[in-house]
Each structure stands twice: as C-alpha cells, then as structure tokens.
Structure 1
Amino acid sequence: MNNSLKEEFELAMEDYVIPASKVAHVFEDNSLEHALLVLTNTGYTLIPVLDYDNKYIGMINNAGIMNDIMGVESILFENLPEVKVSNVVIRDYPVLRVGFSFEILLKHLIDHSFLCVVDDDNEFVGIVTRRVALKRLAKAIHQPVDQ
C-alpha cells in the first residue's frame, strides 16, 4: 500500500469500530437455549462470548450449538437449557487489538465477516465489519490522495 493511502487509513481506526454497547453477545455462563434465541432474534449466525467482566472469551455460532445437541438418531432439544455456552465457544477466532492497522484488518476480513476488537486487558471494545472496511476502502480509492 502506498504511504499516502496508508496514512489515510491509519488516521481514524476507531471510526471503524461498532461499540460493544451496540453488539449482540452472550455470556459464557448463559445456556445454549439463550444463545440460540439471541442468534435467532438478531438474525446473526455468529456472536461474541464474554465473561461478566466484559472480557472477550470467543465466539459462538449456530453450527456449534447444533453439533452439541445432535444425537445419534435425533436432535436433543431438551439439552439446550442445560448446556452452557462455555462448552461450545470457539476460542481460536482471530481478534484485533486496539491500535490495529488497516492492513491487519483487511488480512483477517478476507476470511471473516467481522472481527472483535479488544484492549490490552482483553476487554471487549466492539467489532469491525467487512462492510465498513470495504466502504472505507472504496471511498479512499475514489478520492484523490495528495502525494
């Protein structure tokens, strides 16, 4: 990336972040039933999992929930209220640290529709979506950059 374009992106990375207060999430001690309700009601297929101190734990998705309640011959819906989110959380999902670069963001957004942002204490700050990053990239491409 040329230096002027790079500087344009580095200026306001916080503008990319959707704050934690606006992001659907569940807590690690919630039941899978609760997580499935949140996922279904929001229309999302993947959401962050936090602890009660607002620390990022990982992600949960519909597939993980369904895999956990899948029996040999039937789906064990009766297990949904009993099993905790912590049993199926995806712990190796990539995250961004506060101060992330646009290049790192783009690298991870190739494979993921959004990424969580955490601070140095692993506190959940918010998310950055592929949509927001691509809109920002398109705007920069169509605006002349001083050289």
Structure 2
Amino acid sequence: MEISSFLLPKYQVAYITSSMSMLEALEQLEQHHYTAIPIIDTEGKYVGTLSEGDLLWKLRQTPDLTFEKMAEVPVSEIQKHVHNESVFIKAQMEDMLTLAADQNFVPVVDAEGLFIGIIRRKDIIEYYTRNIMD
C-alpha cells in the first residue's frame, strides 16, 4: 500500500519557514497545540522539524535572550536536536513504519524534495489496529 492514502496535504498542515523568527515559530506551535512543526525553505523544500525542546535549548544556551529578542532570531539559527526523516510520496507503508515509530509525524516530499504534507503516526496506528482487529 502506498502512503499517499494517508497524506494530510500541505494546505491542512501548519508549518513554518526557515526565515521565520523564533517568536513566530513559538506562536505557531502554541496556536496549533503542536510540540513539533515542519520547516520548509523559501523554495518549498522540507528542511527539518523544530520542536519545543529546540526552543528551550536555545533559550537556555543564550542567557541574554529575552522574549522581545526572540523576534530577531531566525529559525535557521536554532540547532535542531531531533532529525525527522522525510519520506517520498511513492513509498510503501513498510518503508515508513520505522520512521513513524520514532516521530509523531512523517514529512512527505515529492521527487524534487518539495514538502507536500505529513502522515501522522496516529493515522498509521489506527489503520493497523483496524486491520489487525478484522
């Protein structure tokens, strides 16, 4: 089974760009009640995932960083502590299961690396639960 049937498309997914500020990223996480959010570059390519922990580490490692100064720190300058692997849209479910075990969501890209959406671990678990129970 191809993973495309599980795709939550980009237009339904909250994401940030690498040029956004730390403050804007924090606001997006808060607004959507996420603990992590995909990052795309100016070309629309998936470049990583920013987590709440990444923001906390940045605050801890930058003693003079105030809430107001967070607006001056671009997301691209924040060290990411977890690397969420992306998966190609034509991949099979088996190719993605290992990733889904370690990630709340798996970013999905096309042949050019453009971010086209995510697959949530929740949806994968529900699918396998239904099929095991049947």
**1:1-147 → structure 2 map (5 Å cutoff):** 10=1, 12-70=2-60, 76-88=66-78, 90=80, 92-143=83-134
Mark the runs of 5 or more structure 1 residues left unpaired by the alignment: 1-9
CA distance in 2, matches of 1:74, 1:120: 42
**Separation in 1, partners of 2:63, 2:74:** 23
Report if the CA contact (8 A) 1:117-1:125 is conserved: yes
Deviation at 1:53, TM superposition (A): 2.2
Runs of 5+ unmatched residues, structure 2: none
Cα separation, partners in 2 of 1:106 and 1:76, compared to 1, 3 Å: same
Q: Which runs of 4+ in 1 moved over 4 A?
A: 71-75
Give the TM-score of the pair, scaled to structure 2: 0.89
Distance verdict in 2 for CA 1:29–1:73, change over 3 Å? closer
Structure 1 residue 74, shift from structure 2 partner: 6.9
Aligned length: 133
- Rg bigger for which structure? 1
User: Which is worse superposed, 26-35 or 62-71?
Assistant: 62-71
Indicate the percent of aligned positions where both proteins have the same amino acid. Answer: 25
| TM-score normalised by structure 1 residue count | 0.82
| 1:52-92 residue CA offsets vs partner (Å, 9 max, x unmatched) | 22111111111111221225767632320110011125383
